[in-house]
Structure 1
Amino acid sequence: MQEKDIKLLFDAGDLTRADIVPLPMEAGWGLQFNRRKGHPVMMDAQRVQPRRFKTLDAAYKTLIHIGFREARIIAQ
């Protein structure tokens, strides 16, 4: 799911939590969102699934842009 679609879900109140998660087999971080009903969704880029952020700061700035004010960081 791309950022614009996730923002629509956030504005509709469908997202309950955002997690910054390490991506397996890649260096970087991804964003996972829990929905009120249904399975968690990952943020995708236009051509790549999932979207990869090189730094935690970049991932957090995207969450702020969507509207979140807090997120969990999941470390392995």
Structure 2
Amino acid sequence: PLLRFAHRFSSLMPSRSLIWCLENGVHNSGLLRFWPDPETVPLEFLPAGGTLVVFLSYRFWHEVVPAKRQRLSLTGWFRRR
């Protein structure tokens, strides 16, 4: 993990919108990618309305794919000292 974020133990990402994710057959992203092993292809999770993703951010390389249009997002962390 990146040292500047080493205090982040786990991450929380709520997904509220059912409509925002897919419009006219095009996904607007917000896709969450995990690399359980840096040598492998990432696992990908599409945001689903009414869900909460919680994961151990210190254990996995991860990213959120940039959105193709404006959106509001909320992310939280549990931190260690």
> TM-score normalized by structure 2?
0.30
Q: With CA pairs under 8 Å and 6+ residues apart, which has the higher RCO, 1 or 2? A: 2
TM-score w.r.t. length of structure 1: 0.31
